[in-house]
Amino acid sequence: MKQRGFRVSFPLLAVGAAVLLSGCGATKQSALAPVGPVARAQLGMFWESLAIMTGIFVIVAAVFLYSLIRFRARKGDATLPKQVHGNTTLEIAWTIIPIILLVFLAIPTVHYAYAFGDTPPNAMKVDVVGHQFWWEFDYPGSQVTTANVVHIPVNTKVDFVLTSADVIHSFWVPRLGGKTDLIPGRVNHLWLESNQTGTFYGQCAQLCGAGHAYMKFSVVVQTQAAYAAWVQSMQHPKVSVTTPAQEAGMQLFSQDCATCHTIGGTTFNGKIGPNLTALMTRPTIAAGTLTNTPANLAKWLHDPPGVKPGALMPNLHLSQTQIQSLVAFLETLK
Ligand code: HEC
Ligand SMILES: [Cu+2]
């Protein structure tokens, strides 16, 4: 009976673990695939403590197994084993060894706590504001504001200046390092650097309400030249509205949307929702909920809270014609 119970539960456990771990998605958001000095140092400490713990486990398990076998009750032997109490040498040894191991863990921990706690003086600054359920990124001094996608230059230390507009959120880009909370009324700093160009994924790591799981963002790491070009294009956004549908969309936008959304290059300057300047250059909409395609924009405008639980953009009960004009207008934002 027992045998069968084991056979049934083991494959079940294996399948369960596989299903759960599949959520960890290869290297997309893996702290085990670092691309910068902060994430690399943190991973190094992880391996160091894992090595120490594995060593302790192997030694303790070996002594334990040896004792189980060597001193087991044998058939026909009813005598009581030798009774002992206390062994000063052993007790001193198992007090001193853990202390030495803890010192080995404490040295890098304290070292990195200071190294990562102090913002490098020449770091580039990006202000990050957490909102339910999206990210605002402001580049102080360059008049650039974006949402849910942050561009940074490669091999550059970036000081993310973190605060929140509402509840506590947490900023985490596993491949770059982290994470640090965004707390209303407080300013936290987290500096990160990437030594590789490419797109890396971030996620809010502090349960902040119904839309928390859909509060994602991308970090686009670019060469210095490409980054400078991006800043230039964000400072001089092109909005060229030509067709009647685009014009109708812009008109609708000024009535229904401009109270909440800003668009660079126009007079729309609402501050409640994400800044929509160069919206079409973003890989996703609604903080990673949908890929950024015209069909998905239409889906979003039709019923935001239906697409993303808890979304604070209301359902404006727009008609299909209105949605099509608005999408035509949004598609001009490059
Ligand atoms: C009451 C304020 C409000 C109004 C009015 C509003 N929005 Fe929004 N909008 C938001 C908020 C808040 C979000 C962020 C939702 C989220 O991701 O959780 C958002 C998100 C968006 C996004 C996705 C942006 C991104 O980068 O993820 C688009 C596009 C958008 N709104 C377009 C519109 C259009 C077009 C209208 C008018 C028809 C409109 N919004 C009206 C508040 C508003
Ligand atoms: Cu959250």
Output the tens digit of pLDDT for each of the chain's 334 residues: 444 444 556 666 666 666 665 555 556 889 999 999 999 999 999 999 899 999 999 999 999 999 999 988 888 888 888 888 889 999 999 999 999 999 988 998 999 989 888 889 899 999 999 999 999 999 998 989 999 999 999 999 999 999 999 999 999 999 999 799 999 999 999 999 999 999 999 999 999 999 999 999 999 999 999 999 999 999 998 888 999 999 999 999 999 999 999 999 899 999 999 999 999 999 999 999 999 999 999 999 999 999 999 999 999 999 999 999 999 999 999 8
Q: Do domains 26-223 and 244-330 have the same CATH topology?
A: yes
> Could you tell me the distance, in angstroms and rounded to a whole number, from the CA of residue 292 to the centre of ligand 1?
13
CA distance 293 to 327: 10
333 contacts: CB under 8 Å, gap ≥ 6: 237, 239, 263, 276, 277, 278, 279, 280
- Give the CATH fold of the 26-223 domain: Immunoglobulin-like (2.60.40)
> Could you tell me the distance, in angstroms and rounded to a whole number, from the CA of residue 207 to the centre of ligand 2?
4
Q: Atom 26 of ligand 1 has which residue's CA nearest to it?
A: 285
For position 71, what pLDDT does the model report?
Answer: 87
Indicate the top mutation candidate among 204, 234, 313 to test ligand 1's pocket, ranked by most ligand atoms within 8 A of CB. Answer: 313
For position 84, what pLDDT does the model report?
Answer: 86
For position 15, what pLDDT does the model report?
Answer: 66
For residue 139, the cross-strand partners are 144
Q: Atom 40 of ligand 1 has which residue's CA nearest to it?
A: 257
For the segment(s) 244-330, the CATH number from 3.40.640.10, 2.60.40.420, 3.30.56.10, 3.20.20.70 is 2.60.40.420
Distance spanning both ends of the chain, measured CA to CA? 67
Whether the bond into 125 is cis, omega within 30 of 0: no
For position 5, what pLDDT does the model report?
Answer: 47
> Could you tell me the distance, in angstroms and rounded to a whole number, from the CA of residue 62 to the centre of ligand 2?
44
| The token pair that represents 295 in the structure block | 């069909």
Q: To 10 degrees, the CA torsion angle through 110, 114, 115, 120?
A: 180
> Could you tell me the distance, in angstroms and rounded to a whole number, from the CA of residue 170 to the centre of ligand 2?
7
CA distance 281 to 289: 16
* Matching residue, tokens 């900023």: 171
pTM value? 0.87
Check the CA dihedral 113-119-124-126 and report its sign.
positive
For position 73, what pLDDT does the model report?
Answer: 86
For position 326, what pLDDT does the model report?
Answer: 97
Indicate the top mutation candidate among 149, 261, 282 to test ligand 1's pocket, ranked by most ligand atoms within 8 A of CB. Answer: 261
CA distance 190 to 33: 19
Q: What is the DSSP letter of 243?
A: S
Check the CA dihedral 275-279-282-288 and report its sign.
positive
Q: Atom 39 of ligand 1 has which residue's CA nearest to it?
A: 257
**Ligand 1 neighbours (beta carbon < 6 A):** 133-134, 147-148, 211, 253, 256-257, 259-261, 272-274, 276, 279, 282, 285-287, 297, 301, 308, 311-314, 316, 326, 330
Domain boundaries, the chain: 26-223, 244-330
For position 17, what pLDDT does the model report?
Answer: 66
> Could you tell me the distance, in angstroms and rounded to a whole number, from the CA of residue 286 to the centre of ligand 2?
14
